[in-house]
Structure 1
Amino acid sequence: MNELFIRNHHYNFIKKQIGYLQRTYQTVSDRKVVEAVRDSTEFKIMELFPDSEEGIPKELFRNIPALQTAEDFEQFLQSLESYMTNFPQVTEKQIRKLFHKNKKLPIPDLAIDYRYLSYLGWNSIATGKFFIVYDLNGQIVGMEGKITPANKKGFCFICNKQEEIALFTAVSKSRLTHSSPDYYKAVGNYLCMNSQECNKNITDVTALEKFIHEVLK
Structure 2
Amino acid sequence: MSELFQTYESEYELAHQEAEQKLSQISDLAGDKRRTAMRDVERATDECLEILDQMNLEIQNMSTNERSSYNAKLRTYKATVDKSKKQLKFLQDNTNRDELFLGRTQESSDPSSHDYQRQQLLKNNASLERSSDRLRDSQRVALETEEIGSSILNDLRGQREQLVNSRNQLIDADGYVDKSIRTLRSMTRRLAANKLISYAIIAVLVILILLVIASKFT
**TM-score bucket of the superposed structures, by smaller chain:** under 0.3
* Length-normalised TM-score, structure 1: 0.23
Structure richer in strand, relative to its length: 1
**Rg: which structure is higher?**
2
